[in-house]
Structures are given as C-alpha cells and as structure tokens.
C-alpha cells in the first residue's frame, strides 16, 4: 500500500549505500525529503533507512545493481508502490578503478564504464517518465 503525503519531495538515489550517495540521502532528509535508497549493498542501505527513520523521515531500501538490465525498473516500481511518485532522481552509482596501470585490465575499465555510463543511462531511462510527470529533477 502506498503512503501518500505532501510533506516533501520523494528522492530516488542510486549508489546510496555509502559515500556521496549516503551523504546526499542524509542531506535530503535533513531538508524534508523522503527517500528511495537503491544500491547493491542492502545491509548498508537498511542501516541508513533506520537512521533516517529515527530522524522522522520515510525511507525504503531497494536492492539495485545499475549494471543489470531490469534492476532500476524494479527499484522504480518499488518507489511507486511505496510513495506513488518520484520528484528527484540522483544517478549517483559509480566508482573508479585504481591500481597500477600495468595490472589493470580492459575488463576493469569495462566494469567502470558499465556502471558510470550505462548505469546512469539506465537510471535516467527508468525514471524519466516519473520525473516528467512530477516536473521533477535529475542529477548525475
């Protein structure tokens, strides 16, 4: 059952389990948003959801790997089921390969490209109709 409220925007963040994504979730919550937190590391997402709920914000954790076709669409469906809309999308999932160049492989760079480029594209494609409907915003 969906929870409706005019309390604040509904913000969908990929890569929300740590780093910039988690910091953005806390800041959006501080400013009155409710959140859909999407990432691969669900244990970390659940801890963040609990933290945000303690600050009286609504939040859900949604398992999502932006490199897998269909995952972002499933996360969007969960967001719609919980909150009925999405106002702001933050396509934050990403990483950088690190290490000595001679030890890195093309597959290392392909994984980075798959996440940082195609992951953003998957996120935008999966959320664009929602954002257009609410006249919301997308951040990358």
DSSP 8-class letter at 18? S
Output the average pLDDT for the chain.
94
Domain chopping of the chain, boundaries:
10-139
pLDDT band at 2 (very low <50, low <70, confident <90, very high): very low
Percent of the chain with pLDDT over 70: 96
Residue with token string 């996440």: 115
When pLDDT is averaged across residues 43-58 and rounded to a whole number, the result is: 95
106-to-2, 37, 65, 70 alpha-carbon distances in Å: 44, 30, 21, 25
Residue 107 CB contacts under 8 Å (≥ 6 apart), including other chains: none
Rounded CA-CA distance 58/53 in Å is 6
17-to-32, 48, 64, 74, 89 alpha-carbon distances in Å: 20, 7, 11, 17, 15
CATH code: domain 10-139 is 3.40.50.720
What pLDDT shows up at residue 3? 43
When pLDDT is averaged across residues 74-90 and rounded to a whole number, the result is: 98
CA angle 53, 64, 47 (to 5 degrees): 30
55 exposure class (CB count in 10 Å sphere: 0-12, 13-18, 19+): exposed
Nearest to residue 47, comparing CAs of 13, 75, 22, 12? 22
Q: What is the pTM of this model?
A: 0.92
pLDDT band at 7 (very low <50, low <70, confident <90, very high): confident
Rounded CA-CA distance 73/113 in Å is 20
């Amino acid at each position: 059952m969906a929870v409706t409220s005019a309390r604040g925007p509904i913000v969908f963040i990929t890569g929300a389990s740590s780093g910039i994504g988690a910091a953005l979730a806390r800041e959006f919550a501080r400013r009155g948003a409710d959140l859909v937190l999407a990432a691969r590391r669900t244990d970390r997402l659940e801890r963040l959801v609990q933290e945000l709920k303690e600050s009286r914000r609504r939040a859900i954790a949604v398992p999502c790997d932006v490199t897998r076709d269909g995952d972002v669409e499933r996360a969007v469906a969960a967001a719609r089921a919980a909150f009925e809309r999405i106002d702001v999308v933050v396509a934050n999932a990403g990483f950088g390969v690190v290490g000595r160049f001679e030890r890195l492989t093309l597959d290392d760079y392909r994984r980075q490209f798959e996440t940082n480029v195609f992951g953003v594209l998957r996120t935008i494609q999966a959320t664009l109709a929602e954002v257009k409907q609410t006249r919301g915003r997308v951040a990358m």
